[in-house]
Amino acid sequence: MRNAITTLLIIVAAAIGPLAQSVPAEKPKPQPADKRIRVSEGVLDSIVLKKVLPQPPWSNDKAHEKGVVTISVLVDYDGTLKSTSLISGDSVLAEVATQAIKQWQFQPFVINGEPVRVESRIVMKFSKKHADVVFGR
C-alpha cells in the first residue's frame, strides 16, 4: 500500500511540477524613488494651504521674547509635513515656531505630473507682541 501511495505522489508531482514552474512568481512592486527638491522660501509659501503663527507670550523670560529662528522643513509627496529641524535661533523660540509649523497644511508639490518631496526653510521673526514669517531674508 505504501508503495502505491508513494508511486501516486510521484506521478502527481511529476504532472504538477511543470505547471507550477510555468506560473511566474509575483514580482515585488518597485518602491518610488525618493524624489525631492530644494525650493526657495517663496516657492514653499506658494504651496501653503494653512499657516499658523505662534501667539504671544512665547516665554516669561525677557531673554526669549525676541529673535529670528530658521527651521528646515521636509514636505512629503502628499503635502504632509514630514520633518522639521532647527537651523539657527533661540531654542525656546524654535520650539514655539516648530509647534506652530507642525499645524501648517501644504498642497502636494508636483513636477511633470509627479508629486515630489520638498525641502525648504522657514524663517520666523519674533518680536515682543507678534511673530511673522520672513521670506527672502
C-alpha cell at position 55: 501667539
CATH number at residue 46: 3.30.2420.10
Does 98 map to a domain?
Answer: yes
Per-residue pLDDT of the chain (137 residues; tens, 9 = 90+): 656 555 555 555 555 555 545 555 566 555 556 788 999 999 999 999 999 999 887 777 877 789 999 999 999 999 999 999 999 999 999 999 999 999 999 999 999 999 999 999 999 999 988 899 987 54
Does 48 map to a domain?
Answer: yes
Does 21 map to a domain?
Answer: no
As a whole number of Å, the end-to-end CA separation of the chain is 89
Q: Is the pTM of this model over 0.85?
A: no
The domain in which residue 45 lies consists of 30-134
Buried b (16+ CB within 10 A) or exposed e, 106-137: bebbeeeeebbbbbbbbbbbbeeeebebeeee
Number of H helices, E strands in the chain: 3, 8
Rg (CA), the chain: 28
Chain position carrying cell 508513494:
6
Q: How far is CA 30 from CA 33, 34, 68, 91, 108, in A?
A: 9, 12, 43, 41, 22
Strands 114-126 and 105-106, sheet pairing: unpaired
Report how many domains make up the chain.
Answer: 1
Does 50 map to a domain?
Answer: yes
